[in-house]
Amino acid sequence: MTQGSFLSGHSDGNQGHPIKRAVWLMERILGEAPPPPPPNVPDLDPKDPVNQQLSIAQQLAIHRDSVSCRNCHKKLDPYGLVFEEYNGAGLLNQTTTPAQDTKVTLPTGVIVNGVAEMKDYIVQSRSREFRTSLVKHLLTYALGRDMSFADEKDIKSIVETLSAKGDRFHTLVETLVTSPLFLR
């Protein structure tokens, strides 16, 4: 989650893009697909003098005041704002980001501050979702196709085996290549 390629790839080149980073984390790490934005919702205008005076966290808080944006952004924003300590190039930016901008309340009610605490939260509270997402993404790559409802039983079996054997990556690869999904 702190690789420069991910962080810079989900930015505009100058500053991080918390929404793109949040969508990636939700889809790739937690296996949750956030809903697409409703049509005709304007982006935050970086050239607006008011926005230039506010941090991205403050701008998103104002954006959440819009009725059409509120529900999705309450679920989405926290997962992106934890990355605000990293700039658009993916470098740790310790001097210009207020610490309160990375302190968020997740939709579950848990408070995390920054990427390190987000990692801890995922490991301690969302490890099953992470395992399942990882298995699905590796199977999609290995099989060259998307996973479907028909694959859920095999995915669940692989996830259970991975968990029971200590979450080792070599166990995951071995379990994938010996699974009925891979062998069929």
**80-116 confidence digits (pLDDT tens):** 889 988 888 888 876 655 555 788 989 999 999 999 9
Query: Greater confidence, 121 or 89?
Result: 121
Query: Of the given ranges (11-15, 127-131, 163-167), which has the lowest mean pLDDT?
Result: 11-15
Strands (E) across 38-183 are located at 103-105, 111-113
Residue 159 reports pLDDT greater than 90: yes
Residue 5 reports pLDDT greater than 80: yes
Instruction: Report the pLDDT averaged over residues 10-30.
Output: 86
Mean pLDDT of the chain: 85
Residue 117 reports pLDDT greater than 90: yes
Instruction: Report the pLDDT averaged over residues 51-71.
Output: 68
What percent of the chain is modeled with pLDDT above 90?
Answer: 48
Residue 128 reports pLDDT greater than 60: yes
Residue 53 pLDDT: 65
What is the enclosing helix (H) or strand (E) of 120? helix 114-125
- For residue 9, CA distances in Å to 15, 53, 131, 171 come to 11, 25, 24, 30
